Structure 1
C-alpha cells in the first residue's frame, strides 16, 4: 500500500486529511498522518520487506466517539490493523489528539 492509498482510506472517514499538519487548520475534527517509522524485515544484508508504520492522528475539540468510530471503521474496512498509541489533551490548542499506528507492507 502506498501513502496515496492510505490518504484515500483516511478521507473515507469523512474528515479533512493532511500530511503532518495543515497550514490553515480546518474546523475540528480532522486527521493528520506522518510516515515516521519503519520496521523492515532484513535478510542477507538487504531489506527483504519494507514495512512502513505511519502514525495517524485524529484531532477533536472534545472526546468524539463518532469521529473515532468513523476513522477506526475506515481502517477496519480496508483491513488495516491499527494500534492506539495515545490520547492526550493539548491544553494550548484546546483539542484532543488521538494517535494510532498502523503497519503497511
Structure 2
C-alpha cells in the first residue's frame, strides 16, 4: 500500500481526511495522517526496503467506539497491522486516537 491508497481507504470511511492538518476548520469526527519516521531495511550501506511509519489520527468530541471500529476494520481489511494509543486533548476538548502503521515502499 502506498500513501495514495491509504488516503483513498481513509476517505472511504465517510469522514473528512487531510494530510497533517486541514486548511479550514472541520467538525469532528475527522482524520489526519502523516509520515512520522522511517524503518528502512538496510545492509551494506544501502537501503533495500523503504518502510515509512505513518500516524493515522482519529479525532472525536466524544468517545466514539463506532468511529474507532470503522478505522480498525478498514486497517484490518487492508491487512495493515497497527498500534493504537489514545489521549484527551484538554485545550481542544477532543479525543485523539492514534493508529501507527507502516507502508512498505513509502
Compute the displacement of 1:25 (Å).
Answer: 2.5
- 2:50 counterpart residue number: 50
Q: Give the structure 2 partner of residue 41 of structure 1.
A: 41
- Equivalenced residue count is 104
- Match for residue 75 of structure 1? 75
- Could you list the structure 1 runs, at least 4 aligned residues long, displaced by more than 3 angstroms after superposition: none
Give the distance between the partners of 1:25 and 1:75, measured in 2 at CA: 26
Distance in 1 between residues matched to 2:96 and 2:80, nearest whole Å: 20
Deviations 1:35-83 (A, max 9, x none): 1111000011100000011011000001000000011111111111111
Residue ranges of structure 2 left out of the alignment (5+ in a row): none
Question: Superposition RMSD on alpha carbons, in Å?
Answer: 0.9
Query: Between Structure 1 and Structure 2, which shows a larger proportion of strand residues?
Result: 2
Equivalent in the alignment of 2:10: 10
Residue segments in structure 1 that go unaligned for 5+ positions in a row: none
TM-score by length of 2: 0.93
Q: How many Å separate the matches in 2 of 1:76 and 1:15? A: 18
Report the TM-score, using the length of structure 1 for normalisation: 0.94
